[in-house]
Chain A
Amino acid sequence: MTQSALSIPATRPKPAPLRLGGSRTLRIALVLFALWAVLAIHPETREAFLTSGNLSNLTAQVAEIAIISVGMTFVILTGGIDLSVGAAMAFFGVIVATLQIDHHQPAAVAILAALAASVVVGLWHGVLVAKMKIPPFIATLSGFLSYRGIALLLSDARGLSPMSADFAFLGARISPAAATAACIVGLVIGVAIPVHRYRRRRALELPTESLASLGGRAAVIGLVFVAALWVYRAGMPFPVLVAAIVTGLGAFALQSTRLGRYAFAVGGNAEAARLSGIPVVRVKVAVYAITAVLTAVAALIAASRTNGVTPGNMGMNRELDVITAVVIGGTSLSGGRATMLGTLLGALIFGTLSNGLNLLGVSSNWQLISTGAILLGASMLDSWSTRSEAH
């Protein structure tokens, strides 16, 4: 070749880069808005649905699922699955409840013990899957079976209640003033990140997002902010705050950390990842550990909200709820593709369905059927669009 192959010619302009999975997330958001629109218009629900009380409740109910979904998104992204989260909730719930009730420990000790147990459980799953090469389905199915058994054993199969008073904050509301402050912090972060990215890219002479798109993004964030102020004007359920923080951190971890990037690589092509020197084992262990810890967080919140733990049915079917939310959110069960915003929207769709159908007075049987239909619809939409993208 005449010119040096490794020389660097002048910069040429490039269109703004695509974010991982943009349009798919937009589609999911449209499904959610369509559901909300129906519920806001339908004569039987329009009175009750679009009230700040109802929406506050809806988000509080979704919080548990949303928190675990963040971890599950990572697990499924790497091509794995965690079926144990529901049973593990009962296990962690029994730990936190027995320590408080039977052993009279302060809430802080009980909480730390449950979190510590979750770290052990998560590392154990990771080692089983990544080191011992046991298929994730089997490794966590074993947990699904055994953790509830352990929970029943530890509690002698009795309901544990009430929890101590210093544990109540987890399921309570924060004051309107604190809620407003939280919303403002969210707004500031939500605006600062795209602005910072925009300025930094300008400074480094990289192609930037168009101002229109930046403005659109800011408008969406502003809208969410105003809505949140209104919904939580009587105070914000603490679980919602936790879910918001966890989802935000999860989105950041997914987009902007090596762990997130490596998770994409491991799920997208494990062999290429290994040959690129990526610590595949550590990545897998990390995602299972994250999921277990977030499961414990959800268990703590559930125990506090209901002021007790029933080991026989706490977290029952939660793994399926969570997987449903993640899949509706556009994460590919075969790995390699995920967005955290999608997962959050998936959890909201899931919660909206049960909330809306409750308001309509529809039996839970129909709720199951309609959730199944939405799940199938989301997957079909997804496979259809994937096929059309691949020509």
Chain B
Amino acid sequence: MTRDFALELVGVEKRFGGVHALRGANLEVRRGEIMGLCGENGAGKSTLLKILSGVHPFGSYGGDVIVDGEVRRMHAPADARRAGIAVIHQELTLIPELSVAQNLMLGREPGRLGIVDDAELEALARADLARFGFADELDVRTPVKKLGIGLQQIVEIVRALPQDAKVLVLDEPTAALTERETSMLTRWLEALRAGGTTCVYVSHKLDEIFALCDRVTVLRDGRTAAVLDIRETTPREVVTAMVGRDVASARRIASSISFASTTPVLEVRGLHLGTARSRVLRDISFSLAHGEITAICGAMGSGRTALLSTLFGCARVEVSGEIRIDGVRAVIASPADAIRHRIALVPEDRKGAGIVPDMTVGQNLALTSLASLDVMGWTTRFGLVDACAEEQLAERHIRSLRIHGDASAAVVTLSGGNQQKVVLGKWLERPPKILLLDEPTRGVDIGAREEIYGILEELAERGVAILVASSDLIEVLRLAQRILVLRDGRIAGDLDGATATEGAIVELSTGAAGHRAPMLQVGT
């Protein structure tokens, strides 16, 4: 083949039992370009990446992987690395108990006779971080588990990026990153491109693809649906290629219809979280009205997740302040308390806290409703599970939420977006009064994302008060009637969703002048 391509995939096919995940997909990445890769859930992106990273060994798929004009047969992830393909997966692969430095140097610890030279290790890790301009931001001795997901992602990227990579493949690298972190990463990738690195950038966020990439490859149903030059295409054209039909791009004008309710459904007054020495949240006061979608923005570590988990009774440190539900003072000391007050939470960490992976879709959907599920009229009293009622419930939610997957399928076989619908769906049998969502569309593709927004809007119309913590400003502006901006555990601003701008949110969350954004060094 031609020598211009750093990476080529030719006619790649892959089956999982009866599922034909890839049906002859092609990808050609020119040397020194950033190639965007997008497609809806189930289009075959993940499978493609697993072939690229050697997770699906040579022989289990059809077609060729060609790096620098040479057909490579990769039997294991180590072979992919040797071939010069560095894949950075969406799911974090860090070891939580180990420090940043230990994680960064995992598998290549310096030292002799199996004795690790800790000082050297720290120095090397520091140097690695310095390539990203993070040496001052992050103490390499911090255990990874103490970092927020955004910072963990950065450690992950730094770790997975060897100096001699020929092709860098990023899978949704910004899914959990804040605006600030995202722009940092984007600038760094541009610098790398200027230095001649080839990159495949998988993302659901079209704005990022348009800001960063030279070309974009669109997958649909396991095939390459389009290869478009960014300078000559439009987001709409990309979306059309993804879904296979023309979709009107919708930006909902946040409706200002307010439920003329007398008492707010949720009222928070003077909420503090943490000890006097380390405050996570300080003096948080706000209220939620029936049918209102409120967003919480803020940088990583500003207290978004902490606020939601406190409202759901998951605080592990000291809490003070007052929470009123429908005007009545409520004590929420555990998730069970919160559920009794009809609060529901869709957590940030879908895999770790949302789904039960060994269970089926149906069982996951019914998990919160077993005690009230009863077709026969007596079963639940004896602690029995009515499997038929469970399945009827599951079928109902699978249809209404348009979950692509059977009730009897293992939930892990679903795509991210559909798993997220399952996590949301398990609360909908008896719709909550207050629905808390933490990064509800992290790792979810555009189609499913719109569907989730639609579900949330419909719930809001029915009077559910919705509180969404999100680092995706487009999402926030798309959804919210009201935006609370957090900074360092305080509410820094309270904006009207209809008039707010990205600039205003960023300004409030970064604290206008005071804070220094970490600078990027051009490493090449």
Q: Could you list which residues of chain A lie within 8 angstroms of chain B, going by C-beta atoms?
A: 1, 4-9, 11, 14-18, 197, 200-201, 204, 206, 255-262, 264-265, 267-269, 271-279, 332, 336-337, 391
Contacts and interface: CB of A to CB of B under 8 A. Distances in A.
A341 B387 CA distance: 19
A6 B357 contact: no
Interface stretch (B24-32, B157-165, B367-375): B367-375
A15 B363 contact: no
A269 B392 CA distance: 24
A323 to B, nearest CB: 20
A275 B367 CA distance: 11
Given A204-B392, A261-B385, A277-B339, A1 B451 contact: yes
B244 to A, nearest CB: 17
10 shortest A-B CB distances, which residue pairs?
Answer: A17-B408, A1-B454, A268-B356, A336-B358, A277-B339, A268-B358, A271-B353, A269-B356, A5-B454, A5-B455
A21 to B, nearest CB: 9
A269 B357 contact: yes
B407 A258 contact: no
A257 B368 contact: no
A8 B399 contact: yes
Given A200-B388, A206-B391, A275 B312 contact: yes
B357 A257 contact: no
Contacts, number: 127
A164 to B, nearest CB: 36
Interface of B: 16, 50, 56, 60, 312, 314, 335-336, 338-339, 345, 347, 349, 352-360, 362-363, 367-368, 370-371, 375, 380, 382-385, 387-388, 391-392, 395-396, 399-402, 406-408, 426, 428, 450-451, 454-455, 458-459
16 contacts: A1-B450, A5-B401, A6-B400, A14-B407, A18-B360, A197-B388, A204-B388, A258-B370, A258-B384, A261-B367, A264-B356, A264-B363, A271-B353, A336-B356, A336-B358, A391-B60
B367 A278 contact: yes
Main secondary structure of the interface of A (DSSP, over half): loop
B408 A206 contact: no
B354 A272 contact: yes
B385 A260 contact: yes
A204 B375 CA distance: 10
Given A8-B396, A269-B356, 19 more contacts: A6-B459, A8-B399, A9-B399, A14-B408, A17-B362, A200-B388, A206-B395, A257-B382, A258-B383, A262-B370, A264-B358, A264-B363, A265-B359, A265-B367, A272-B355, A274-B335, A275-B312, A278-B367, A391-B50
B314 A275 contact: yes
Contacts of A265: 356, 359, 367
A333 to B, nearest CB: 13
B93 to A, nearest CB: 16
A179 B312 CA distance: 55
A289 B383 CA distance: 17
A275 B355 contact: no
A6 B428 CA distance: 10
B458 A275 contact: no
Contact of B400 (A8, A261, A271): A8
Contacts of B356: 264-265, 268-269, 272-273, 336
A10 to B, nearest CB: 9
A261 B391 contact: no
B102 to A, nearest CB: 23
A89 to B, nearest CB: 28
A246 B338 CA distance: 37
A5 B450 CA distance: 11
A93 to B, nearest CB: 31
A221 B336 CA distance: 42
A4 B356 CA distance: 28
B353 A275 contact: yes
Contacts of B388: 197, 200-201, 204, 206
A162 to B, nearest CB: 41
Contacts of B314: 275
A256 B335 contact: no
